[in-house]
Structure 1
Amino acid sequence: MQFLRTLFWVVLAVFLAIIARNNWTDVTINLWGSLQADIKLPLLVGIAVLAGFLPPFLWLRARLWSLQRRLSVANPPAPAPAVPAPSEPIGPAQ
C-alpha cells in the first residue's frame, strides 16, 4: 500500500512538472500606476493556489487549537496511576 501511495505522488509530481515546463512563459502583471512585473506562469498559478489555500487552512488550525484548549480545560487529563515500590531488589540474586 505504501508503494502505491508513493507511486501516486511521484506520478502527480512528474505530471505537474511537465505541465509547468510546457507553460514556462512570462506573464506581465499590471500592479499600480505604470508599474508592471513579469512573472513565470507556473509561479503565478502556485502563488494563486497558496493565496486561496492558506487563509482557510490557518482559520481551521486556529479553530481546532481553540477547541482543543477548551476541551483540555473542561476535561483535565487523569493522573497517572501510582507505581508501587518493589518489595524485593531488582537485579541478580546473590
Structure 2
Amino acid sequence: MQVIRTIVWVVVLIALLLFSLNNWTTVEVKIWEGLVWETRLPALVILSFLLGLVPMWLRHMAGHWRMKRRIAALEVLTRQPSSGLSSTQLDAASAAETPEN
C-alpha cells in the first residue's frame, strides 16, 4: 500500500511540475479597485486549491479526533465492571425466588 501511495504522490508532483512549466505566465488578479495582485498562474492555482482543501481537511481531522475520543470513552466503559447483575447472578436470583414444593 505504501508503494501505491508513493507512486500516486510522484505522479501528482510531476503533473504539477509540468503544469507549472507550461503555464509560467503572469496573471493580474484585481482584488479591489486600487489593489491589483500580479502573480504567476501556477501559484494562483495552487493557492486556490489549498484554500478549498484546508478547511475540508480540518473538518475531517476534527471528526476523526472526535470519533477517536468517543471510541476511547466507550472502551473505558467496557473495561469497567457493570453495576448490574451478570447472567449467573440472575439465574441464582430467579432460582431463589421460585418456591420449591
Identity %: 34
TM-score normalised to the size of structure 1? 0.67
Whole-Å separation in 2 of the counterparts to 1:9 and 1:63: 25
Give the secondary structure class of the aligned counterpart of 1:19: helix
Q: What residue number does 1:24 align with?
A: 24
User: Once structures 1 and 2 are overlaid, which stretch shifts more, 20-29 or 10-19?
Assistant: 10-19
Whole-Å separation in 2 of the counterparts to 1:32 and 1:6: 42
Q: What residue number does 1:69 align with?
A: 69
Q: What residue number does 2:53 align with?
A: 53
* Structure 2 unmatched ranges of 5 or more: 80-101
Whole-Å separation in 2 of the counterparts to 1:2 and 1:60: 22
Q: What residue number does 2:43 align with?
A: 43
- Give the Å deviation of 1:33: 2.5
Quickly say closer, same or farther: Cα 1:54–1:6, change in 2 above 3 A: closer
Deviations 1:2-59 (A, max 9, x none): 6676555434433321221110011101112311110100000000111111111110
Give the secondary structure class of the aligned counterpart of 1:75: helix
Quickly say closer, same or farther: Cα 1:63–1:30, change in 2 above 3 A: same
User: Once structures 1 and 2 are overlaid, which stretch shifts more, 70-79 or 47-56?
Assistant: 70-79
* Structure 1 unmatched ranges of 5 or more: 80-94
Q: What residue number does 2:99 align with?
A: none
From the two aligned structures, give the one with the greater helix fraction. Answer: 2
Quickly say closer, same or farther: Cα 1:74–1:7, change in 2 above 3 A: closer
Q: What residue number does 1:88 align with?
A: none
Whether 2:51 is the aligned partner of 1:34: answer no
